[in-house]
Amino acid sequence: MKHKIAVLAGDGIGPEVMDASLKVLDRAAESFGFSVEYRRALIGGAAIDERGRALPEESIDICRSCDAVLLGSVGGPKWDKLPADQRPERAGLLALRKELSLYANLRPVRVYPAIRELSPLKNELLEGGVDLLTVRELSSGIYFSEPKAHNSDEGYDTMRYRRPTVQRIAETAFDLARQRRGRLTSVDKSNVLYSSILWRETVEEVSRNYPDVELEHMYVDNAAMQMIINPGRFDVILTGNLFGDILSDESAALPGSLGLLPSASLGPKQHLYEPSGGSAPDIAGKGVANPLAQILSIAMMCDYSLEQKEAARAIYRAVERSIEKRVLSADLLRRGKASSTEKVAEAVALEI
């Protein structure tokens, strides 16, 4: 079986982290009997420098021709002075997300027991482990609904959800909960917002097709608090665009480094996989960036796009074991000798 992967390394630490991480995918492919073809494409500042725009047509075509899109990160000080609508983040990444009609953002967060001292939370709050997945609706809600406007007297936005949009994201979240520990927390604000009343009704309706998944509803203010005082209680969190934006960033603080956080964004055809962090210009080119977020994004890609579930599980386990053996990049160490980007990726590959 051959899988075609669009590889868009981007800017800053993107290329070095991508190159190291693809060795893990090569190793997984070899071990589990499939092959991968990488189709490289430009995005972000690198694309502006070479082609004059952050998302050239040929990059979009390459993404559309592949089974999945693997992205590094975009942006950096070199392009910060460009007008906002030409910058790598908006004209590159946001434009690509739009081109692929991505509707669900998945952000898994694990606090690895071997490095839980990095978490800003007290150890006693991490007892029992933290392993949660936020499923955020990405295409609708207050960021996109009309009317919205601002003038010197007022500014307003509209939070609108339609039933099919909620149904689609709810089904995605229930399917994922089924593959995990079977618990789903739907987060809304239905004591105040009509859009949340529709959200809750629709999630209830969808839940009838998933009797094996335990559903609870939670108000977003309580969810924000529970994330800190009892993060281990969550399995899958399902929520809208605005609440998901905030809650997924709150959850991202739990493991103690951005370098551990992968993400997936699902679309009707190609899904996009990328680290949650940015291009880290402060450490770019030094070979010290943590590749684990990119490697875990590859594991998610094996899981959700390539149907290579065993390879995905092997990568998750390999990451855990290399952390236990303390092959760690500088962001995961309080003291001791840090391993380079290459060394961390090599250690993970060897564990597969």
List residues with catalytic annotation. 143, 189, 221, 245, 249
DSSP β-ladder status, 262-266 and 272-275: antiparallel
Show the CA angle centred on residue 285, arms to residues 284 and 287, nearest 5°. 100
Residue 104: strand, helix, or coil: strand
- CA dist list (Å): 109 to 196, 237, 248, 253: 25, 11, 9, 9
How far is Cα 235 from Cα 177, in angstroms, rounded to an integer? 7
Phi, psi of 73 (to 5 degrees): -155, 160
User: Shortest distance, CB of residue 157 to ligand NAD, whole angstroms?
Assistant: 23
User: Shortest distance, CB of residue 16 to ligand NAD, whole angstroms?
Assistant: 10
Q: Which is nearer to ligand NAD, 166 or 301 (CB)?
A: 301
Q: Which is nearer to ligand NAD, 196 or 263 (CB)?
A: 263
How far is Cα 180 from Cα 226, in angstroms, rounded to an integer? 20
203 CB neighbour count, 10 Å cutoff? 22
Q: Which is nearer to ligand NAD, 13 or 302 (CB)?
A: 13
Q: In what order do the strands lie in the sheet with 262-266?
A: 35-40, 2-10, 68-73, 272-275, 262-266, 104-111, 130-137, 236-239, 183-188, 214-219
Q: Which is nearer to ligand NAD, 213 or 252 (CB)?
A: 252
Residues lying near ligand NAD in the complex (CB under 6 A) are found at: 13, 73-76, 89, 93, 258-259, 274, 277-283, 289-290, 293, 331
**What is the secondary structure of 189-239 as a DSSP string?**
-TTT-HHHHHHHHHHHHHHTT-TTSEEEEEEHHHHHHHHHH-GGG-SEEEE
User: Shortest distance, CB of residue 35 to ligand NAD, whole angstroms?
Assistant: 27
User: Shortest distance, CB of residue 183 to ligand NAD, whole angstroms?
Assistant: 29
Q: Which is nearer to ligand NAD, 89 or 188 (CB)?
A: 89
User: Shortest distance, CB of residue 327 to ligand NAD, whole angstroms?
Assistant: 14
User: Shortest distance, CB of residue 48 to ligand NAD, whole angstroms?
Assistant: 12
Q: Which is nearer to ligand NAD, 96 or 177 (CB)?
A: 96
Token duo for residue 18: 């991508």
How far is Cα 76 from Cα 73, in angstroms, rounded to an integer? 10
* Closest alpha carbon to 111 in 127, 134, 135, 131: 131
